[in-house]
Amino acid sequence: MAAAMLRRTDWLALAVAGLTGACLLTFTLLNPEGLVAERNVDRFRDRGKIDVAYLGQLSADATPALAALPRDRATCAVVDQAESLRNEDGSFGLNVARARARRTIADLSEQPSRAVC
């Protein structure tokens, strides 16, 4: 609207690209799935209830927060992630969250298994 009012649109594409990049970077740094997992872990500490099936659907970003659960619940919450992280990512799939999730899963005293959950 500002470009139309000023009758100058030469900067519009650059502004849209810059704004999109800034929003994407902000969203990535906020780590929304990690925040969701942290909130659910805190709520579990307060109430003693947690939806492990829902948390298991979150991405690798949530894995470090889920590891703070008691071991039996943590292993069940990350079992889907553990299965998807067994294979290497390749050069196009390199991802800090996935690398952090692999380390977190390796540090669990009991390795995630569907048979246990």
Domain extents for the chain?
Answer: 32-117
Mean pLDDT for the chain overall = 86
> Mean per-residue pLDDT for 77-93?
83
| CB within 8 Å of 9: residues ≥ 6 apart | 3
pLDDT of residue 3: 67
Could you tell me if 76 and 117 are in contact, meaning their C-beta atoms sit under 8 angstroms apart? yes
Neighbours of 54 (CB within 10 A): 11
- Tens digits of residue pLDDT in 24-75: 999 888 899 999 999 999 999 999 999 998 998 999 999 999 999 998 898 8
